[in-house]
Every structure is written in structure tokens, then in C-alpha cells.
Amino acid sequence: MVLSSKNQWELFGFDLSQLGGLLGRVWRDVFWTYHSPIRQKLDEPVLAHRWQADAAAPLLADADKCQAVVLPDTHVLTRHLTLPRAALANLPQIVAAEVTAASPFLADDTAVGQRVDDAGGKTVALSLALASRAGVMSLLHSVNPDIASNDYEIWAESQDKIIILEGFAEPQRNARYLQRLTRLSIYSAVALVAVAVLLALPWMYQSYRLNKIETELQQSRLEARNAMQLRTQLADNNTRINILQTEVNIAAKPLAPLAVLTTSLGDDNWLGSYEQAGNKVTIDGYANDAAALIQQLTANTYFNGVKPLSAIRKVGNDGVERFRLELQLPLSQTEQP
């Protein structure tokens, strides 16, 4: 794309400033011109009166019908031009210049009709029909003085082609056709939207399902993580409960080790203090022969271990010895002494 010396944007030698005019012309050729295929299908029928055949019959305006009068050749001046297809972007200027050059009528009195047909290749055929507004109305009034300019469309025929002159009753038909075309466009747009929605429904449903499955998967992962944490906490709690239960079982039966000690101490030995913490018992006592007593307790199978906490020492002058021991109890106190 380059910028020419005339400040016009050109692409491959084509002036892009004419693109809007060409697109507008394409729209007119497809939807708006009287001889376009789409308008031929959608437009209302027109009751045409050929002047030569209907001159003797009165022309009456009928609001329920779209009517036209085909002018005789004596009242119409026709022109035919062959133009390059690129000239369609400037068609209004070309028509205005040709009308100015060829019309024998005053500018305000000139009625113009135009038609563009494909001439093959890169050319189009432009047909122009020129007539005097005053002459047309005079012709119509010769049959019916009450006819108004908007009661009939005015047509001209040249080379077996109909050319519609502007400025008579054709705006009414154009307005009704535009309404019909607008309704059809709306219906088509609604239908396209409906088709698009129907085509998108499976995708939307699958997307909804995937999102739902993903949400459920995330929730399941979170619940699984919470379950693992709870399981770990439960295992830790069970371990603590087992330890506490063991200690409770030991603490709940202090009579068993006392019974063993009572039997082992005999009448000559006694305890000054007794402390039990879990499966450990600490005793502080007096004996006539502390060494023999320690040996006796060590030999007792009820205790898992006997550990002196201090040395044996004499107390007083009567030969009594003081001892301090730590006794290891079995983990289960279901054993009986």
C-alpha cells in the first residue's frame, strides 16, 4: 500500500477511496435495483399500462395496487453507455454529467431513470431514460385530469428493458419493499442466531459438564486431603490414647506392686515413701539388711528391673539401713504377684 502524490491510498493501482462507493453499488445491485434477482422475488407485483394499448381507457388511481404507465417512445429520450466496472464508484457523477449534456429539458423539469446491466468482462451497460415531468403529467391528464404525480409509476422501455423514472409513485413501493426487506433481514438474523445457538448447545453442555466435573474433582481432592489429615490425626490420637490407657491401667492398679513389696519386705523392713509414675515405682525404705532385700527384689520376676538411686547407708546405732530404689513394673498389670 502506497501513498500517491494526490494523497489517495492505492492498493495494486486501485484507489481505496472508491471502496465505499463500490460497496454501496454492490449493495444496490444485489438488494435495491428494480431488476435485481432478490427484489424480483420479494417486491410486490406492479400493474403496468402500456400507453398505446390503454390510451382509450381511463387511468384510475388504486390504493390497493401498485400501478405504472409505460410511456410511448415519443415522450422518452434514451441513452446507452458502456462503462468500465471501476466507474460504478462514481456512477452518480457520470449520470449527472450525461443528463446535463443530453437532456433537452430544463433541469427542474427533467425526470431521470437509470439501469445498470452486466456487459461482460470488465464493462457494464448504463441505460438512461430522460423525460419531461410536465410532458408526462400532461399526457396523464389527457386521460384523467385528477391523476396526481404519486398515483402512478412512470416507466420507459428501451431494448426490451424497463427503466423506471424517478420522482413519481416509486417511493411508495420502495418504502414498502424496504419494510419487507427489513423484516426479512430480522427474521434471517433471528434464524441465524437460533441456528448458531442450536449448534453451540452441545458445546455449551459439554463445557458445563467439564466445568462441573472439574469442580467436583477439585472438591474431591480437597476432601481427600482433609481425610488424610484427619486419618493422620486419628492415628496420632490413637497412639496417644494407647499410651494414656497403659498409664491409666498402671495407675489404676497400684495395689499389685504394693502387694509384691509387702510380701518381699517382711516384718523387719518397712517403707518410708512410695511414688508411682507410669510403670516406674520409686521407694524409700529401711531394712536390717538392705543388700539382701535388693537382691530379693531383683530376683522377683514381677519387676522388670531394680535400680538403686542412692547408696545404702546406716541410720542410727541399731544397725538399720536406709535404701532408695527405682522399680520397673511390667507394661501390663494383669499379672498377679
Find the domain containing 121 and state its range: 18-168
Within-domain flag for 79: yes
Say how many CA atoms lie within 13 Å of 328 toward its Cβ. Answer: 8
Cell 381507457, residue? 57
Residue 234 lies in a domain: no
Q: Which amino acid is at 183?
A: R
| Same-domain pairing of 162 and 261 | no
Q: CA 168, CA 55: separation in Å to the nearest integer?
A: 19
Q: Is 145 contained in some domain?
A: yes
pLDDT surpassing 90 at residue 287: no
Q: Is the pLDDT of residue 193 over 60?
A: yes
In a domain, 232, yes or no: no
Asked, for residue 40, whether it belongs to a domain, the answer is: yes
Q: Of 168, 201, 235, which one is at a domain's C-terminal end?
A: 168
| 144, 168, 192 - which closes a domain | 168
CB 256 within 8 A of CB 276: no
pLDDT above 80 (res 335): no
Task: Note the pLDDT of residue 106.
Answer: 93
- Cβ atoms < 10 Å from Cβ of 69: 23
Q: How many CB atoms lie within 10 A of CB 250?
A: 22
The pLDDT assigned to 4 comes to 46
pLDDT tens-digit map of 16-55? 555 555 566 666 767 778 888 888 888 888 888 887 655 5
* CATH (domain of 290): 3.30.1360.100
Q: Is there a domain that residue 118 lies in?
A: yes
Which residue blocks in the chain are alpha helix, DSSP H? 19-27, 37-42, 51-54, 91-102, 133-141, 170-252, 255-265, 290-299
Cα–Cα distance for residue pair 303/297, rounded to 1 Å? 8
Same domain as 262, residue 162: no
Kindly state whether residues 264 and 155 are assigned to the same domain.
no
Residue 155 pLDDT > 90, yes or no?
yes
Q: What is the pLDDT of residue 97?
A: 93
Q: Is 158 helix (H, G, I), strand (E, B) or coil?
A: strand
Q: Is residue 334 part of a domain?
A: no
Average pLDDT on 120-149 reads 90
User: What strand order describes the sheet that includes 77-84?
Assistant: 77-84, 123-132, 110-118
Domain boundary pick from 152, 168, 184: 168
Instruction: Specify whether 145 is located in the same domain as 263.
Output: no
Output the pLDDT for position 18.
Answer: 55
Identify the pLDDT of residue 60. Answer: 62
pTM of the model: 0.54
Does some domain include residue 323? yes
Mean local confidence (pLDDT), 192-205: 90
Count CB neighbours of 292 within 10 A.
Answer: 12
Does 12 score more than 80 pLDDT? no
Name the domain count of the chain: 2
Q: What is the pLDDT of residue 137?
A: 93
